Amino acid sequence: MKRNRRVKILATLGPASSSEEMIRKLHDAGADVFRINMSHTDHGSMRELVRRIRNVEEAVGRPIGILADLQGPKLRVGKFEDGKVDLAIDDIITLDDNPEPGNATRVYLPHPEILESVKAGDRLLIDDGKLQLVAEASTGRAIRCRVVAGNRISDRKGVSLPDTILTSGALTDKDRVDLEAVLEANVDWLALSFIQRPEDLIEARKLARGRAGILSKIEKPQAVERLDEIIELSDAIMVARGDLGVEMPLEQVPGIQKRMTRAARKAGKPVVVATQMLESMISAPVPTRAEVSDVSIAVFEGADAVMLSAESAAGDYPVEAVSTMNRIAVEVEKDTLYPGIIFAQRPAAEATGADAVSLAARQIAETLNVAAIVTYTATGATGLRTARERPQIPVLALSPIEATARRLSLAWGLHCVVTEDATDMEDMVDKACRLAVQQGYAKAGDRIIITAGVPLRTPGATNMIRIAYIGADGLHAA
């Protein structure tokens, strides 16, 4: 199925979209990658969702990516004697290690890592910032806090720590168990929540051992401060605007989104923009005009993918949400301003053979206005470097490895095809011409650009560009 856009759509599965029939409808409406949220999915349900996605993949005949989103550390206060307490500005409340029900002066905080890490002056945001506290003193077992905003706290509300670096890593015991389960199910991407520092990625990379790509969700101020280091250790990143907007001033989030999008593109790593993109479509069949503008900005910025969360997982209009996002993206990419904006943001090529070939292929393709760029990629690296160039010519990424093609389904502009490796140079050119025609990107008489590595089947050795003419039989015309 040929898409008429370059940006990809990542749709979250949930109660409104877990059947195989609905997954197929979401794919046909425009979803390229499906997200399974492990905060709300047990292992049996996860495996069943993977099975259904793979059935749809087989039916449609094109690779579909699966992203498993690990829960990460969920930090919450304990319970209160009356379920909640009312507070006033400048009231003092202590968060401690006493498991007894709380009251207006204290509450249990079942997270020793917070009690040990918070320092005087650090902020603690409760219930997505509805209640804001400032630590005045900490003993390692209790934190004495002053209320600076808000007036109520209730059972099991979440705690955000915009000023504190926790001593514990990003993976919890639940995450480790979930990680092994999703890897056994052969998902393509692992999303790590609440990353604070590059070191948080090390354990996940060791456990994954290359079996899935690592996507870091940037939702903490500490992660923004060390963004370049985190990108270097990640295979992709997500602009997780929900928690980011809680822990940082809301007015800073748009600028951070732009910075992250450009930094990821410079590194040649996919970047996903997420959270509240079409939030009103949870309960309405059409989005607000502001939401349409929000999605369009992410597309104009050159994000690799835009994501739907509750809109597709639990909303009343999951298919309509995906279809709406698809229409917005198609229309933006048809806009006369779009190529110029994408070109203006293009990073300089790095001094590598793969970047030099990708840059030259894009320049030749756009100069000659060829029908398509066809790139052979075993590991996915060449495909990502080609996507980094954001060519205005369609790109077919051919790979003999199914897992590579699935993973690349998250990357900007790549139409992925699983095919047997070429046997020799002539077979490579013929296969590229034939698939370009079969996939609807070229016809007899067209020219295509081919990039590959010579000798063949040598990972990471992209060093060849070939211009090929397509003959009447759909093969290379000598």
**Are 122 and 134 within 8 A, CB to CB?**
yes
pLDDT tens per residue across span 302-332: 999 999 999 999 999 999 999 999 999 999 9
Annotation says 447 is catalytic? no
Partners of 107 in the beta sheet? 95
In this structure, how many other beta carbons lie within 10 angstroms of the beta carbon of residue 173? 7
Tokens representing 24?
A: 């197929």
Q: Whole-angstrom Cα distance, residue 397 to residue 378?
A: 10
Annotation says 47 is catalytic? no
Annotation says 385 is catalytic? no
pLDDT at 283: 98
**Are 212 and 238 within 8 A, CB to CB?**
no
Partners of 159 in the beta sheet? 126
pLDDT at 462: 81
Residue 476 pLDDT greater than 80, yes or no: no
- Mean pLDDT, the chain, as a whole number? 95
Given the residues 217, 269, 385, 388, the one annotated as active site: 217
Phi, psi values for residue 191, rounded to 5°: -100, 125
pLDDT at 453: 81
Tokens representing 346?
A: 């293009």
pLDDT at 421: 87
pLDDT at 477: 64
The confidence band for 157, taking pLDDT boundaries of 50, 70 and 90, is very high
Annotation says 407 is catalytic? no
Mean pLDDT over 253-267 rounds to: 96
**Are 236 and 271 within 8 A, CB to CB?**
yes
Given the residues 6, 8, 24, 35, the one annotated as active site: 35
Mean pLDDT over 258-271 rounds to: 97
pLDDT tens per residue across span 59-112: 999 999 999 999 999 899 999 999 999 999 999 999 999 999 999 999 999 999
**Are 331 and 29 within 8 A, CB to CB?**
no
pLDDT at 132: 97
The confidence band for 455, taking pLDDT boundaries of 50, 70 and 90, is confident
Q: Tell me the one-letter amino acid at 67.
A: L
Given the residues 164, 261, 275, 451, the one annotated as active site: 275
- Per the rule left: phi > 0, alpha: psi between -120 and 50, beta: everything else, 156 is left
Q: Whole-angstrom Cα distance, residue 322 to residue 304?
A: 16
Q: Which domains does the chain have, with CATH numbers?
A: 8-72+170-332 (3.20.20.60), 84-160 (2.40.33.10), 353-469 (3.40.1380.20)
Given the residues 47, 76, 176, 266, the one annotated as active site: 76
Matching residue, tokens 């399974």? 36
pLDDT tens per residue across span 113-130: 999 999 999 999 999 999
pLDDT tens per residue across span 231-259: 999 999 999 999 999 999 999 999 999 99
The confidence band for 1, taking pLDDT boundaries of 50, 70 and 90, is confident
